[in-house]
């Protein structure tokens, strides 16, 4: 599944044109930085998921952020729609693939393309380090922001793509992005303020934020792959949307109660709930299968 999606995506114009464009823009941006003599100032808040850092790090990282954080992840808004509209998900669910494997295959393909594109820019990062005198920790923080942010945005785009109407997709993606920004801001700011910089607590909180909202976005896509819903069951995608609405408030309360030290606990709780919500019911192993209902033909 993943190999098929990756092979098809590498041939699409949504990957080829941004990949070629970013190489050209990276060269132009790096030359402009050297021409202007731009150099990043040392900051004690140089850490992953610090999006303010990307905006103040010169034209090079602005170009990288525009391609790897916006243009390429937004290609995920069409991924799940292809499977749902054509009914391919029903055939996939009849195989050994479960719902998590399907959405993870889509995610690995989309995020893998973003990571592959970013990996092609590492030579420019090395040149900026040796020629431009850029601090390596600053570059590593920007790289972590791009990779972590693209993972979360890709998951949100895949989750929004599971809805049919384009207006609903835009609304769901907007809700996800707002929930992501609000849910990540409080624990990251709190951990950075308590440790006086981006230390181990900040980066642990950033890692939990990436995992939590990536799982939340994929859980939204997974909830739309249900073959049937009984009359007394709540719509599973409605439960995930409710989770996205209330998650920032709960995470903010946990951060406030722990005075900035325990924001990661709220993010871990979000990851657990997102992974366990809408669990497919399964009979225990000790239960025997029902007897076959074969009609008896009297001779």
Give how many domains the chain has, as a whole number: 1
Greater pLDDT, 229 or 135 = 135
Q: pLDDT tens across 153-162, in order?
A: 999 999 998 8
Whole-angstrom distance, CA of residue 25 vs CA of residue 48: 23
pLDDT at position 82 is 66
Instruction: Identify the residue with better confidence: 91 or 100.
Output: 100
CA atoms within 13 A on the CB side of 190: 24
146: in domain: yes
Structural domain includes residue 284: no
**Percent with pLDDT over 70 in the chain:** 78
Q: 20-24, 204-208, 258-262 — which is least confidently predicted?
A: 20-24
The residue whose two tokens read 């992974």 is 275
Whether pTM > 0.95 for this model: the answer is no
Domain of 27 in residue numbering reads as 2-276
pLDDT (0 to 100) of residue 175: 95
In a domain, 192, yes or no: yes
Average pLDDT of 102-109?
87
For 47-71, what is the mean pLDDT?
81
CA-angle at 116, arms to 112 and 121, nearest 5°: 150
pLDDT at 79 over 80: no
Q: In terms of pLDDT, which residue wins out, 199 or 178?
A: 178
Paired tokens of 64: 């990288």
243 Cβ partners below 8 Å, 6+ apart? 216, 270, 273, 274, 277
Q: Which residues of 232-241 are buried (b: 16+ CB within 10 A; e: fewer)?
A: eeeebbebbb
Answer whether 281's CB lies under 8 Å from 228's CB.
Answer: no
What interhelical angle do 236-257 and 166-195 show, nearest 10? Answer: 20
Where is pLDDT greater, at 171 or 192?
171
Are the beta carbons of 88 and 81 closer than 8 angstroms? no
Place of tokens 């942010």: 149
Is 54 within the bounds of a domain? yes
How many other CB atoms are there within 10 angstroms of residue 54's CB atom?
20
Query: Quick one: tokens of 46?
Result: 């140089």
> Is residue 31 one of the residues assigned to a domain?
yes
Q: Note whether residue 189 is domain-resident.
A: yes
Q: Does any domain span residue 286? A: no
Residue 119, pLDDT > 60, answer: yes
pLDDT-based confidence at residue 204 (cuts at 50, 70, 90): very high
pLDDT tens by residue, 25-57? 778 877 777 776 655 555 567 778 888 887 777
Residue 228, burial from CB neighbour count under 10 angstroms (0-12, 13-18, 19+): exposed
Residue 170 pLDDT more than 60? Answer: yes
């Amino acid at each position: 599944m993943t190999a098929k999606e990756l092979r098809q995506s590498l041939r699409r114009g949504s990957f080829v044109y941004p990949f070629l464009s970013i190489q050209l823009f990276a060269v132009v941006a790096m030359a402009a930085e050297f021409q202007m003599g731009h150099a990043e100032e040392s900051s004690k808040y140089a850490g992953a998921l610090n999006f303010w850092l990307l905006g103040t790090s010169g034209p090079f990282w602005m170009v990288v952020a525009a391609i790897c954080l916006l243009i390429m992840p937004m290609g995920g808004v069409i991924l799940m729609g292809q499977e749902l509209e054509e009914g391919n998900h029903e055939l996939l669910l009849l195989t050994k693939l479960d719902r998590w494997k399907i959405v993870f295959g889509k995610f690995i393909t989309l995020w893998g393309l973003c990571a592959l594109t970013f990996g092609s820019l590492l030579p420019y990062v090395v040149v900026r380090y040796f020629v431009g005198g850029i601090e390596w920790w600053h570059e590593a923080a920007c790289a972590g922001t791009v990779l972590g942010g693209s993972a979360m945005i890709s998951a949100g785009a895949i989750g929004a793509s599971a809805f049919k109407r384009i207006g609903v997709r835009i609304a769901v993606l907007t809700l996800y992005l707002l929930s992501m920004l609000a849910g990540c801001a409080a624990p990251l700011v709190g951990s950075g303020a308590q440790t006086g910089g981006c230390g181990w607590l900040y980066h642990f909180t950033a890692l939990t934020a990436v995992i939590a909202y990536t799982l939340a976005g994929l859980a939204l896509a997974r909830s739309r792959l249900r073959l049937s819903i009984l009359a007394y069951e709540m719509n599973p995608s409605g439960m995930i949307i409710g989770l996205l609405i209330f998650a920032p408030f709960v995470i903010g309360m946990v951060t406030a109660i722990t005075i900035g030290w325990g924001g990661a606990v709220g993010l871990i709780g979000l990851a657990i709930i997102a992974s366990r919500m809408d669990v497919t019911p399964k009979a225990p192993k000790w239960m025997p299968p029902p007897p076959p209902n074969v009609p008896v033909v009297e001779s």
